[in-house]
A and B are shown apart, each in its own frame.
Chain A
């Protein structure tokens, strides 16, 4: 499985090549990947259902206890199947939707990478693994929302989505670290199996708040919901996949995953129920403001995400059953509806439902698919969505806390959702024909298979949940969420009860609302001035504040003068090192004067070089004297029999002198810019730094905190690492990971230098250097 997920990333990376080879068939080819994975997951299902959670271990860095382990239980199986099955549909669909698009390779790359990240996220067993995949989904989502990168709105929306989810990701990381500390384990399966009650732990409240922030931002809960409708700037296959069926459910997944260990407290129940119910109503209410079909669907997705959070908050057995059922139902019909929206947009050239009408006769298949999926959204029997809604209402009725609020909100949201469903299913397809920007045709087969499959899946699962294995799958998922065995047995008919009556009443009201939608919308338009002060305004204000702050601090600390940078860095270093040395250690001057004559000569040469470099009035002279210092250091290395270090030092010194000589040509004439006072200040800072470094070396030398590992390295380098040169063995074997990191640092630094030089190069070639001068502001000294 790990291999499959990693293969996903390899496949993503090779998609440009595949596109070159296979052209338009690439989408179908790539769709094989999730299809095969779905097959594998199906084949594992009986094992998970009979034997319980499967742990697929793959050791990564065993000495640090880091492993790439995957946990396959009912919950991750359900999510994994959603990701792979809907992923297959979406890839096939995208092949038709983006047919002939010049950047389709980039689209495939990001989408397949997202798919692999999302699978990793729901399968991860390690907390940190989960976090890494979590962030990967944020990044790939950013790339996908901003796919049409020439559109400024798309870029802005992509950035907004990224900032909101990544800010939440930071909180999530803090929450996961707290969870790891509190439970003493970094593996989800161990945490879930342990007997410790984390609810009593002192860190419970901060941990829960951090985790909830992460989950709420990702899953677009109120007041972070605003990024999701904006994310509709993405191509429709992306909206269908990421922003309805999978990624936005990652937060919900995390909550469901942790529910057995953290759920059930007053804090959990209150926050989740209230936030969930508020999100549910906000989403449903804001939906009917919009005539853009994708925005309608986006707000209705927010409503569904709120419902799922609320159900997790309620936490009763009914709520857990409702949670898994609603999750499955929603992913299916919402995925189908988004793809229908894409077909409408693709064929008519508009997203505005009021501009469409009477399309039933030209697009009969699309109309049927839309109708079936919308029935499921509205919760009309015998569709699967009906079972989900019924259970949801039942769970709200049985809530222990804030029951009245939940029932009221759920009822109102149900009415509004039915109106939304009717708008999407009826408005474009019935009534009089409108002129649309393009003449509509029935969509190609590739675009109909995906939504058709999902829509009729909703119908089939509603008619025969037990036969098709939904009962077994959902039992296993609900068991994972509840933490104890919870048999699920779905049926369309639970007898006449309050929930059914509410359902029927909401259907009537919802349909009336649909009939009067145009006038209701006109009334709602008057609310616009109030709506402008929503959470999104807060986000904008915050972002502007951050930009202003960074402008201010850049002007203060990074004004473009090297001397200023060095001053700031040295002062900070002095504060940090001085603080640590003076407070924690008392340096002892235990000097022995057992030095050789030639050592004194070398050190004296270095001191002379340093002195001359500071007082020299010629740049070349200063460079040469700094060079003398460097070569003397090399000499010291050789004197203390470290030939490798000596050679390295010599070569580095040579290259430094060459680079400096090249740079010298470009510098302005040597002149004296500092006042005497500034020179005294700089001198004092430099002298303090020198003294501190001296103290640091003395302290480090006199304190023996750890046993030296050099003997181990010397003894083992030949027998274990097959090398006699210990320096090299350390670099490429013992500490190869550090070297690998340094290689990347070196590469980044080189690319940075090249980029800056080329950028200046380009500027001088093109426009005049006026802009160049203007960009370097001169706050003080000329």
Chain B
């Protein structure tokens, strides 16, 4: 089983994980204009959880994920990807045509590409975490 048990890694992981997760959301949101985007952000988030996983093991990571199975994240990602396709239909445009709305108060550009990117983010995060956790769980049972 991979569990370091060193104080430095444990402490670092505890503080780094939230920071990495926030950074991943930052990357996701700014992705349309600056380097970033759903794929990169998903990998960063997966990296955050993997670091935690290495430091504290599978069961502790599962607690952090709070009942959210990575496999459900894959499904949620595909769902977001698919629903971002739909709004164009109601506007009478070919499907997948990007739609943009401006949310007035915070001056934020909401759009179907953003929903789509969130889908990519979740699908990447779920896939990587699913594989890593499955591998770790197999290791746990080895003598």
Contacts and interface: CB of A to CB of B under 8 A. Distances in A.
Contacts of A583: none
A732 B131 contact: no
Contacts of B39: 648, 731
Contact of B32 (A658, A662, A728): A728
B32 A644 contact: no
B127 A757 contact: no
B46 interface: yes
Given A746-B127, A750-B74, A731 B37 contact: yes
A728 B131 CA distance: 25
A666 B37 CA distance: 34
B40 A644 contact: yes
A759 B134 CA distance: 11
B68 to A, nearest CB: 15
A721 B81 contact: no
Given A658-B50, A721-B113, A746-B123, A663 B34 contact: no
Interface string A650-667: 011011001100110110
Q: Which of B32, B77, B124 counts the most A-chain CB atoms under 10 A from its CB? A: B32
A736 B113 contact: yes
A743 B33 contact: no
Contacts of B120: 731-732, 739, 743
B111 to A, nearest CB: 7
A743 B78 contact: yes
B134 A765 contact: no
Contacts of A757: 131, 134-135, 137-138
Contacts of B117: 728, 731-732
B94 to A, nearest CB: 6
Contacts, number: 150
Q: Which of B96, B127, B130 counts the most A-chain CB atoms under 10 A from its CB? A: B127
Nearest to B43: A651
Nearest to B122: A743
13 contacts: A62-B94, A63-B94, A644-B37, A655-B46, A659-B135, A665-B2, A666-B138, A666-B139, A731-B37, A732-B38, A740-B96, A753-B130, A761-B134
A746 B46 CA distance: 14
Q: Which of B39, B96, B123 counts the most A-chain CB atoms under 10 A from its CB? A: B39
Nearest to B98: A733
B135 A651 contact: no
A589 interface: no
A39 interface: no
B109 interface: yes
A714 interface: no
A575 interface: no
Q: Which of A722, A729, A750, A761 counts the most B-chain CB atoms under 10 A from its CB? A: A750
B77 A743 contact: yes
A62 B2 CA distance: 54
A658 B50 CA distance: 9
Given A651-B44, A743-B123, A659 B131 contact: yes
A64 to B, nearest CB: 9
Interface string B39-52: 11001101100100
Interface in B98-131: 98, 100, 109, 111, 113, 116-117, 119-120, 123-124, 126-128, 130-131
A758 B96 CA distance: 36
A728 B127 contact: no
B141 to A, nearest CB: 7
A727 B37 contact: yes
B122 to A, nearest CB: 9
Given A60-B95, A728-B36, A736-B96, A753 B131 contact: yes
Size class of B's contact patch?
Answer: 35 or more
Contacts of B2: 662, 665
B63 interface: no
Contact of B134 (A648, A732, A758): A758
Q: Which of A63, A666, A724, A743 counts the most B-chain CB atoms under 10 A from its CB? A: A743
Provide the main secondary structure of the chain B interface.
helix
Given A60-B94, A732-B113, A732-B120, A725 B141 contact: no
Interface residues of A, number: 49
B62 interface: no
A560 interface: no
A747 B124 CA distance: 8
Q: Which of A662, A744, A749 counts the most B-chain CB atoms under 10 A from its CB? A: A662
A754 B131 contact: yes
Interface string B1-21: 010000000000000000000
A655 B141 contact: no
B80 to A, nearest CB: 10
B64 to A, nearest CB: 18
Contact of A647 (B40, B123, B130): B40
A60 B85 CA distance: 12
B43 A754 contact: no
Given A644-B40, A723-B33, A725-B35, A750 B139 contact: no
B31 interface: yes
B131 A750 contact: yes
Contact of B37 (A724, A732, A747, A765): A732
B22 interface: no
Nearest to B111: A722
Interface in A114-144: none
B58 to A, nearest CB: 12
Given A747-B78, A765-B141, A728 B31 contact: yes
A754 B37 contact: no
A655 B43 contact: yes
